[in-house]
Amino acid sequence: MKSNFMIEDNMLTNISVEDIGNDHLFTSLETPMVANAFSKSDTEKKEIIAFHFTEIMKALDLDLTDDSLKGTPERVAKMYIEEIFSGLNPKNKPKMALFENKYQYNQMLVEKNITFYSNCEHHFVPIFGKAHVAYISSGKVIGLSKLNRIVQYYAKRPQVQERLTMQIAEDLKIALETEDVAVIIDAKHLCVSSRGVQDESSSTVTTSFNGAFNTPQKINELLQLINN
């Protein structure tokens, strides 16, 4: 799926790498991946990550012969591939089977307070919070757990919150065969609270209101349901 949401090259001409990292800009709806992504096996990727993480630890003057540290590169590699960045691999995408809306329920369905953990693509430190997902059936429905799983799938990759919000919404619109989808994410960023400005109290809210949800009446109705 190609996106029309792109930052034009000339807009980035006078922006440094440091500015992009600190201001959390992003360049496309799609997660940036190389052309030959997934040509390596998971085992090969783990070996490469473990090797390079060993070098990082050495650069930090850590003693890798210590019993507590000597297995860390392999643990980090396994965590990256099998857990926190598993959403990079399409084979891990949850199946989204549709079912007939036999009850003829035609109001909004809201799955709120979906807990997720992601990682900032600029500093590789955690983003965590709650996602709220809503849709109005066009005649088909999916299992409730699939809403949670699609949030987790896109969260488990290096992310910026704006992209995460839009990726969830766009995928659900396709899967549910409707434009009537809304996504709200409220999250804390450790790149804000544990470094940089070190603001522990703030959180970031992003939204994607589509179709019938893109009206003041439906937005207010949705917010009331979420906040109750």
Annotated catalytic residues are 120-123, 161, 189, 191
Rg (CA), the chain: 20
CA quadruple 62, 64, 68, 74: dihedral positive or negative? Answer: positive
CA distances to 32, 37, 123, 134, 137 from 207, rounded to whole Å, are 21, 30, 23, 11, 20
Task: Give, for 120, the enclosing helix (H) or strand (E).
Answer: strand 108-120
Q: Which DSSP state fits 126?
A: E
User: Minimal CA–CA distance to 161: which of 201, 200, 203, 202?
Assistant: 203
Which of 208, 192, 35, 183 shows the shortest CA–CA distance to 111?
183
> What six digits make up the tokens of 207?
């939204």
| Residues 210 and 181 sit within 8 Å (Cβ to Cβ) | yes
